[in-house]
Amino acid sequence: MALGEFELIRHYFSETGGTRGDVILGVGDDCALVRIPEGMQLALTIDTLVAGVHFFPDVDPEALGHKALAVNLSDLAAMGATPAWVTLALTLPDADADWLAAFSGGFAKLAERFGIQLIGGDTTKGPLTITVQAHGWLPVGQALRRSGAQIGDLIYVTGTLGDAGLALRHRLAEGSWQFVAPALRKRLERPEPRIEAGLLLREIASAAIDISDGLVADLGHVLQASSCGAQIRLDQIPLSGPVASAVASGAGWQLPLSSGDDYELCFTLPPDHQQEIPRLSDRLELTITQIGRIEVGSELRCVQADGTLWQPEQSGYEHFQDDDET
Amino acid sequence: MALGEFELIRHYFSETGGTRGDVILGVGDDCALVRIPEGMQLALTIDTLVAGVHFFPDVDPEALGHKALAVNLSDLAAMGATPAWVTLALTLPDADADWLAAFSGGFAKLAERFGIQLIGGDTTKGPLTITVQAHGWLPVGQALRRSGAQIGDLIYVTGTLGDAGLALRHRLAEGSWQFVAPALRKRLERPEPRIEAGLLLREIASAAIDISDGLVADLGHVLQASSCGAQIRLDQIPLSGPVASAVASGAGWQLPLSSGDDYELCFTLPPDHQQEIPRLSDRLELTITQIGRIEVGSELRCVQADGTLWQPEQSGYEHFQDDDET
């Protein structure tokens, strides 16, 4: 990379997310320095997106900038943390001004919505790889852990499941975006991190996780961490029209339950907080649906409308991106 | 990657660096949670190493694990921060048990030396790329910034410069490690982060940086951030025997001053602290050499033994790895 290209990269990221009072030193020294509010603990999460693995090489770079940040914010949301700062390690084959303008634009727009400042990063030459670490905080003892579910808690999910999975299926089948409905494509490319939901749920939920690998896998993580089982009712899983049609016409429950990339929250709730959910849903303008209940045991039982159990396919293949994450 | 391979990866990183009392939640939830000691501010730095760019594809994975952490700790050292936690985003073409055992071993050994705990990460499939973020803390207002140098301050460096650069030259010239002296190779592959030096210097130095891009470039960053110039005496630059010979026999000053990968500290010191350096050097068992002085202006003047100025070559090419870092 020639001298000027670094200037170009710096230019596009210099103002990302504005300036926060708790940032003592941002980009430009050996380290960034920040202040955590008193009584708060730091929450942090790191995720990598690799070209050809997590996104199509022809992805809209503006959408990629959004998603690279959104998937990390989704992890903060799942803990109930207030987002604050972010770092970005960007490996690029070359410095293309149009690409950088679009990528940094998508990244910055989402950062600004949540008042997040980019405080550090590293730019290297190599195969397109994007690593983002997001940092937030929350009061000591109030984190929404995976391990907090109790027997008898109700299980909820935000939004609808399977839309991103359906978009991906259509894109893979058709080889282009031309035949993919914009609303589905948006769910795949521009997931909405449920930050506000996480903050409000922090007060009442017993456990939470964001659905990145599919409900079955991610609820499974909650069950394992909480040492319990669960029953979910498949006819209560919230589905958009296109996903409901696809399930009915042969795609099966695998689509909404195991495709991943939903970035909705799955949480458990002590039953005495049940009546607070409609008001919370109104306030968030987000559907929140009860889908089941935590039980004794260690299994996740998926009950169909006719009362029979649905068995998830054993894929024998793990999604690479989210499995070993924190 | 098959199911078992994730277990393999988890296995190798599950115990890295032991358990710290300030880690509320480590690997295994949506976020890690940590506590910052009261009155301290958080220092953080992220760096990426890419195969074929920052290291030879045939690198010893144990050394690579060491270096991936060391280059980040070097940034903490340059701020005078106490290291605490680290996250690791590892992109791998496949999960090879021998490679993982060696890489995680090198990483963990260095982490344990400084009591650092691995608290989170992400493992993805793709071209070999390693991103590490290191976190530490330091008392509010005590960070060693690049911007603190004052006219009249003395300029020092730790250790010797150019050893890693000479190792790289030999390796590139010979095409193998066979003809590279082990002591030089060690400087390139297993840099020693100057953590203790940074902690002791925090009390007395006015500015500091770690030398990753070469003294000329990195001291240049200090001068720019501090709005001043400097004069250094080339005959006072600390060189090992092999580097001194190479400089004398044609490699020139470019080798020790612009090769990079030194990971020594360059710092500026108010003259009234000058007498403390020998004791500090003894305590650290590390040579610390005065090489020049901060001056009015904006230039870095490199004075040779005969009094004439040496001009660094304009490479027109920036090291990719460390230039846009924080």
Digit-coded pLDDT (tens) for B70-94: 999 999 999 999 999 999 999 999 8
d(CA A31, CA B143): 10
pLDDT at residue B10 is higher than 90: no
Any B CB within 8 A of A46 CB: yes
Mean pLDDT of A228-232: 98
Q: How confident is the model at residue B187 (pLDDT cuts 50, 70, 90)?
A: very high
Whether B79 and B135 have beta carbons less than 8 Å apart is answered as: no
Strand partners, A208: A267
Mean pLDDT of A311-319: 59
Beta-carbon pairs below 8 A across chains A and B: 259
Residues of B in contact with A123 (CB under 8 A): 320, 323-324
Mean pLDDT of B54-79: 95
The nearest alpha carbon in chain A to B29 belongs to A326
* In chain A, residues 184-223 whose CB comes closer than 8 Å to chain B: 208-210
Query: DSSP label at B151?
Result: T
Q: How confident is the model at residue A28 (pLDDT cuts 50, 70, 90)?
A: confident
Residues of A in contact with B129 (CB under 8 A): 48, 91, 126-127, 129
The nearest alpha carbon in chain A to B38 belongs to A38
Residue A317's pLDDT is: 42
A148 closest CA partner among A201, A85, A213, A86: A201
Residue B57's pLDDT is: 83
pLDDT at residue A294 is higher than 70: yes
Mean pLDDT of A7-16: 72
Q: How far is A50 from chain B (nearest CA, A)?
A: 7
Beta-carbon contacts of residue A207 (< 8 Å; ≥ 6 apart) = A144, A145, A146, A147, A148, A149, A153, A222, A225, A226, A267, A268
Lowest mean pLDDT among A47-61, A126-140, A244-258, B128-142: A47-61
Query: DSSP label at A229?
Result: E
* In chain B, residues 132-161 whose CB comes closer than 8 Å to chain A: 133, 135-136, 140, 143, 145-147
Residue B15's pLDDT is: 63
Residue A264's pLDDT is: 98
**3 state SS of B85:** strand
Residue B317's pLDDT is: 42
Q: Which residue has the higher pLDDT, B9 or A186?
A: A186
The nearest alpha carbon in chain B to A316 belongs to B3
Residue B5's pLDDT is: 61
Beta-carbon contacts of residue A326 (< 8 Å; ≥ 6 apart) = A45, A46, B26, B27, B28, B29, B30, B31, B32, B87, B119, B120, B121, B122
Whether A103 and A65 have beta carbons less than 8 Å apart is answered as: yes
pLDDT at residue B232 is higher than 80: yes
Question: A78–B41: do the CB atoms touch at under 8 Å?
Answer: no
Q: How confident is the model at residue B206 (pLDDT cuts 50, 70, 90)?
A: very high
Residues of B in contact with A264 (CB under 8 A): none
Work out the number of other CB atoms within 10 angstroms of the CB of residue B89: 27
Strand partners, A105: none
d(CA A217, CA A214): 6
Question: B53–A126: do the CB atoms touch at under 8 Å?
Answer: yes
- Helix (H) or strand (E) segment spanning residue B229: strand B229-233
Residues of B in contact with A9 (CB under 8 A): 324
Beta-carbon contacts of residue A310 (< 8 Å; ≥ 6 apart) = A234, A253, A302, A303, A304
d(CA A36, CA A40): 7
Lowest mean pLDDT among A70-84, B159-173, B182-196, B300-314: B300-314
Question: B33–A79: do the CB atoms touch at under 8 Å?
Answer: yes
Question: B124–A53: do the CB atoms touch at under 8 Å?
Answer: yes
- Mean pLDDT computed over every residue of chain A: 91
Name the pairing type of β-strands A229-233 and A300-303.
parallel
List the single best residue of A29, A36, A118, A140 to mutate versus B (max B Cβ within 10 A).
A29
**3 state SS of A129:** strand
Mean pLDDT of B145-174: 96
Mean pLDDT of B172-186: 92
Name the pairing type of β-strands B154-158 and B288-295.
antiparallel
Any B CB within 8 A of A314 CB: no
What is the strand order of the sheet A32-34 is part of? A23-25, A32-34, B40-50, B129-139, B82-92, B117-125
Lowest mean pLDDT among A84-93, B53-62, B63-72, B197-206: B53-62
Strand partners, A111: none
pLDDT at residue A251 is higher than 60: yes
The fold of B3-139 is 60s Ribosomal Protein L30; Chain: A; (3.30.1330)
pLDDT at residue A316 is higher than 50: no
Residue appearing with tokens 């490996």: A91
Q: How close are the terminal C-alpha atoms of chain A, in Å?
A: 33
The nearest alpha carbon in chain B to A75 belongs to B30
Whether A193 and A68 have beta carbons less than 8 Å apart is answered as: no
Question: A89–B47: do the CB atoms touch at under 8 Å?
Answer: yes
B43 closest CA partner among B73, B81, B74: B81
Any B CB within 8 A of A36 CB: yes
Mean pLDDT of B227-242: 98
Any A CB within 8 A of B225 CB: yes
Question: A41–B35: do the CB atoms touch at under 8 Å?
Answer: yes
Residues of B in contact with A6 (CB under 8 A): 318, 323-324
Q: How confident is the model at residue B17 (pLDDT cuts 50, 70, 90)?
A: low
Residues of A in contact with B131 (CB under 8 A): 46, 48, 89, 122, 131
Question: B124–A52: do the CB atoms touch at under 8 Å?
Answer: no
**3 state SS of A91:** strand
Q: How far is A118 from chain B (nearest CA, A)?
A: 11
Residues of B in contact with A35 (CB under 8 A): 41-42, 140
pLDDT at residue A320 is higher than 50: no
Residue B173's pLDDT is: 92
Question: A326–B9: do the CB atoms touch at under 8 Å?
Answer: no
- Taking the model in full, what pTM does it have? 0.92
pLDDT at residue A318 is higher than 60: no
pLDDT at residue A55 is higher than 50: yes
Work out the number of other CB atoms within 10 angstroms of the CB of residue A101: 16
List the single best residue of A11, A31, A264 to mutate versus B (max B Cβ within 10 A).
A31
* DSSP letter for each residue of A169-187: HHHHHHSSSTTS-HHHHHH
Torsion on CA atoms B266, B272, B273, B277, rounded to nearest 10? 80
Tell me which of 3.90.550.10, 3.30.1480.10, 3.90.650.10, 3.40.640.10 is the CATH number of domain B146-310. 3.90.650.10
- Mean pLDDT computed over every residue of chain B: 91
Residues of B in contact with A129 (CB under 8 A): 48, 91, 126-127, 129
- Helix (H) or strand (E) segment spanning residue A66: helix A61-79
Residue A323's pLDDT is: 41
Any A CB within 8 A of B224 CB: no
Tens-digit pLDDT profile for residues B28-53:
889 999 999 999 999 999 999 999 88
| ipTM of the complex as predicted | 0.92
Tell me the domain boundaries of chain B.
Answer: 3-139, 146-310
